[in-house]
Every structure is written in C-alpha cells, then in structure tokens.
Amino acid sequence: MYICLCHGVTGDLVNEIVNRGARSSKEIAAACGAGSDCGRCRRTVRAIIAQHSAT
C-alpha cells in the first residue's frame, strides 16, 4: 500500500529501508523521499520505525 503519495513510496519500501538500518524519518526521507514534501506520511513512517524497534 502507498504511504507517501507525493513520491509513490510503499510501506514495503519503507520496511526494506528500515531493515537496512534507517532509524529516523529523516533517514527514510533521504533514502526514498517519503515525508520530505507535504509530511502527511511522517506519522506512518515513524510507526513503521517504531514497529521495527519493538521487535
């Protein structure tokens, strides 16, 4: 599912980037653009990061 419509970024891509070591929304934005424009997806990006941190 798309989480960032501005850049066409899917949740799967964000998960993959977090699996490669990204630990902040700024790192996600640098890697794929998610969260760097309008910001609506930042909450979802942070939730994905938190999910990975909890496991």
Contacts of 32 (CB under 8 A, 6+ apart): 4, 7, 9, 13, 14, 17
From the DSSP assignment, how many helices (H) and strands (E) are in the chain? 3, 2
What is the tens place of the pLDDT at every residue in 1-55? 999 999 999 999 999 999 999 999 999 999 999 999 999 999 999 999 999 988 7
Domain CATH number, residue 17:
1.10.10.1100
Count the domains in the chain: 1
Domain range spanning residue 9?
A: 2-54
The single-letter code of the amino acid at 50 is A
Residues making up the chain, counted from first to last = 55
Give the pLDDT of residue 50: 97
Give the pLDDT of residue 54: 84
Taking every pair of Cα atoms in the chain, the longest distance, rounded to a whole number of angstroms, is 29
Give the pLDDT of residue 1: 94
Give the pLDDT of residue 15: 98
